[in-house]
Structure 1
Amino acid sequence: MVITSPVVREKPQQSLFDVAVEQFNIAADVIGLDDDLRRILSTCKRELIVHFPVEMDDGSVQVFTGFRVQHNLAAGPSKGGIRYHPDVTLDEVKALAMWMTWKCAVMGLPYGGAKGGVQVDPKQLSQNELQNLTRRYATEISLVIGPHTDIPAPDVNTNPQVMAWILDTYSMHRGGVAVPAVVTGKPLQLGGSAGRLEATGRGVVFAIEEASRVYGLDLGKATVAIQGFGNVGSVAARLLHEHGVRVVAVTDVNGGVWNPKGLDIRALLEHARATGTVAGFTEGEAITNRELFELPCDILIPAAIERQITQENAPRIKARLIAEAANGPTTPEADRILFDRGIIVLPDIYANAGGVTVSYFEWVQSLQHFYWSEAEVNSRLKEIMTRSFHAIRGVAEQYHVHMRTAALALAIQRVAEITRLRGIYP
Structure 2
Amino acid sequence: MSGTYSFFQGVERNFDKAAVYTRFEKGILEQIKACNSVYRMKFPVRIGDNVEVIEAYRVQHSHHKLPCKGGIRYSMDVNQDEVMALAALMTYKCAIVNVPFGGAKGGIKIDPKKYTPFELEKITRRYATELVKKNFIGAGIDVPAPDYGTGAREMSWIADTFATLNPGDINALGCVTGKPVSQGGVTGRTEATGLGIFYGVREVVNVADDMKKVGLTPGIEGKRVVVQGLGNVGYHAAKFFAEAGAILVGLAEFEGGIYSEKGLNLEDVMAHRKSTGSILGFPGATDIKNNADTLEVDCDILIPAALEAVITGENAPRIKAKIIGEGANGPLTPDADAVLNAKGVIVVPDMYLNAGGVTVSYFEWLKNLSHVRFGRLDKRFSENQNASILNSFESMIGKKLGDAERRQIMHGPDEVDLVYSGLEDTMIGSYHEIREALMSSGAADLRTAAFVVAINKVGVAYEQLGIFP
TM-score of the superposed pair, with normalisation by structure 2? 0.86
Residues 76 and 281 of structure 1, relative CA distance in 2, 3 Å threshold:
same
- Within 5 A, what are the aligned runs for 1:176-255? 179-214=172-207, 215=211, 216-255=217-256
Once the two structures are superposed, the pairs formed by residues 253-292 of structure 1 within 5 Å of their partners are: 253-287=254-288, 288-292=290-294
Aligned counterparts, 1:72-151, within 5 A: 72-142=62-132, 143=134, 144-151=136-143
- 1:111-140 per-residue CA deviation (whole Å, 9 max, x = no partner) reads 010000011011100111000000000001
Map 1:24-103; keep pairs closer than 5 Å.
24-56=15-47, 58-103=48-93
Task: Work out which of the two has the higher radius of gyration on C-alpha atoms and give 1 or 2.
Answer: 2
CA separation of 1:409 and 1:400: change in aligned 2, threshold 3 A: closer
Please state how far the C-alpha of 1:400 moved relative to its aligned partner. 4.1
**In the aligned structure 1, how far is the partner of 2:363 from the partner of 2:273?**
30
Q: 1:157 aligns with which of 134, 141, 149?
A: 149
For the residues of structure 2 that align with 1:425 and 1:274, how far apart are their CA atoms? 60
**Corresponding letter in the other structure for 2:42:** H
Is there any run of 5+ residues in structure 2 with no aligned partner, and where?
212-216, 375-414
| Cα deviation code 1:347-368 (max 9, x no counterpart) | 0001100000000000000110
Q: Is the 8 A contact 2:74 2:148 kept in 1?
A: yes
Asked whether the 8 Å contact 2:19–2:452 carries over to 1, the reply is yes
Distance 1:425 1:393 in 2: 30
Distance 2:315 2:30 in 1: 33
Q: Which moved more, 1:167-176 or 1:403-412?
A: 167-176
The answer (yes or no) to whether the contact 1:83–1:156 under 8 Å persists in 2 is yes
Which range is displaced more, 221-230 or 167-176?
Answer: 167-176
Matched AA of 1:135? R
Q: What amino acid is the match of 2:451?
A: L
Contact 1:256 1:280 in 2 (8 A): no
Residue identity matched to 1:294: E
Give the drift of 1:266: 1.4
Distance change >3 Å, CA 277–CA 31, structure 1 → 2 = farther
Q: What is the alpha-carbon distance in structure 2 between the residues aligned to residue 136 and residue 18 of structure 1?
A: 31
Equivalent of 1:393, from 409, 424, 435? 435
| 1:4 corresponding residue in structure 2 | none
Counterpart of 1:17? 8
Q: Which residue of 2 aligns with 1:424?
A: 467
Counterpart residue identity of residue 317, structure 2: P
- Indicate the larger mover: 362-371 or 392-401: 392-401
Deviations 1:85-116 (A, max 9, x none): 11200110000000000000000110010000
Q: For 2:191, give the aligned amino acid.
A: E
* Partner residue in 2 for 1:334: 336
Q: Alpha-carbon deviation of 1:332? A: 1.0
1:122–1:130 contact (8 Å) kept in structure 2: yes
In 2, Cα distance between the equivalents of 1:306 and 1:70? Answer: 20
CA contact (8 A) 1:325 1:348 kept: yes
CA distance in 1 between partners of 2:7 and 2:76 (Å)? 16
Separation in 1 of the partners of 2:86 and 2:32?
14
- Tell me which residue corresponds to 1:6: none
State the 1:425 CA deviation.
8.1
Partner SS, residue 83 of structure 2: helix
Which one-letter code corresponds to 2:324 in the other structure? I
1:253-309 deviation digits (Å, cap 9, x = unpaired): 111211111001110121233344423323301112221121110000000011111
Q: Which amino acid aligns with 1:412?
A: I
Number of equivalenced pairs: 416
SS of residue paired to 2:296 = coil
Query: How far 1:29 moved relative to its partner?
Result: 1.6
Q: How does 1:353-392 map to 2 (within 5 A)?
A: 353-372=355-374, 373-392=415-434
Q: CA offset at residue 334 of structure 1?
A: 1.4
Distance in 1, matches of 2:297 and 2:24, equals 40
Separation (CA, whole Å) in 1 of partners of 2:32 and 2:219: 40
**Is the CA contact (8 Å cut-off) linking 2:18 and 2:443 kept in structure 1?**
no
Contact 1:229–1:278, Cα closer than 8 Å, also in 2: no
Aligned to 2:389: none
Cα 1:203–1:419 change in 2 (3 A) is same
Distance 2:112 2:149 in 1: 7
SS of the equivalent of 1:421 reads: helix
Secondary structure of the equivalent of 1:301? Answer: strand
Could you give the per-residue CA deviations for residues 345-403 of structure 1, whole angstroms, max 9, x where no partner exists? 11000110000000000000011011121011001100010000000000111124200
Partners of 1:252 and 1:279 within 8 A in 2:
no
SS in 1 for 2:64: coil
What amino acid sits opposite 2:71 in the alignment?
G
**Scaled by the length of structure 1, what TM-score is found?**
0.95
Per-residue Cα deviation, 1:391-423 (whole angstroms, up to 9, x for no partner): 000011112420000001100110001001112
Shift of the alpha carbon at 1:171?
A: 0.5
Distance 1:352 1:31 in 2: 24
